[in-house]
Structure 1
Amino acid sequence: MKHVKGATHWVIPDGYIPPVSSGELLSHESICVLNCNTEDANLMVTVYFEDRPPLENISVVVKGKRTNHIRTSSLQKDSEYIPVGVPYALEVESDIAVIVQYSRLDATQPELALMSTIAYPL
């Protein structure tokens, strides 16, 4: 029996890109995806907001036996991006099982903070 590594549906409920950074490092958040399969993983990302419609069906590919660190600030649907200073949440769906981690670098002050956690699999 083949062991499945990961899941096909993930949720990250807490997202926020700070509008300012201090020092040389830029505050950012990333969806870190590991694809242990030989075939490519085709992801669809949805970004949810508190006060506006979601950005839906943002396509991302993670090559087979590779990882992809996707900066949330790079996610785009048509000409719409995730604005800085606005809370958001993410839903990641994949056509094959992958592992999703979420990382945040907060450089809003000189004593920066790095947070990383596994996303919630559904």
Structure 2
Amino acid sequence: MKWYIPDCFWHSKSNGVFVSHEAICILNTNDTPVKVNITLYFEDRDKLPGYSVEVGAERTLHIRMDQLKNTDGTPVPQDTPYAAVVECEKNITIQYTRVDTSQPEMAIATAII
């Protein structure tokens, strides 16, 4: 199964109190753990595969994209538009959230995919 998040962006500027970040939240209602793979796509460079997590059976996991690294140790780049493709062998529920604190008026956007 695949889920697509076409509009991702992690801003490097934060207001000092709250950190700008993105999160992909996963709900696994299956009775077994699931491995979730994430591949990042860009406008001007090759894709970045190798981001993966395991979500326990009947658990949720909140993946902070500013803390995620792929198998090569590459973090998610800041100030760069990208898209994410989330893949898993079983049905899971995905929620994407962006918290932008680059201005005094914070903004939050979220979508269940």
- TM-score of the superposed pair, with normalisation by structure 2: 0.93
- Structure 1: where are the runs of 5+ without partners? 1-7
State yes or no: 1:18 paired with 2:22: no
1:42-57, aligned counterparts within 5 Å? 42-57=35-50
CA distance in 1, matches of 2:50, 2:26: 17
> After superposition, what is the alpha-carbon deviation per residue over 1:21-74, rounded to whole angstroms, capped at 9, x for unaligned?
113000000001000111001111101111111111322111111100101122
Cα RMSD of the aligned pairs, angstroms, is 1.1
| Cα distance change on mapping 1:23 and 1:73 into 2, 3 Å | closer
Match of residue 64 from structure 1: 57
- The Cα of 1:109 is off from its aligned counterpart by 1.1
Query: Paired residues, what number?
Result: 112
- The secondary structure found in structure 1 opposite 2:32 is coil
| CA radius of gyration, larger in | 1
Match status 1:118 vs 2:77? no
Q: CA deviation at 1:112?
A: 0.4
> After the TM superposition, which segments of 4 or more aligned residues of structure 1 sit over 6 Å from their partners?
none
Q: Identity of aligned pairs, percent?
A: 41
Answer whether contact 1:23 1:110 (CA < 8 A) is retained. no
- Correspondent of 1:29 among 8, 22, 37: 22
The alpha carbon displacement at 1:14 in A equals: 0.4
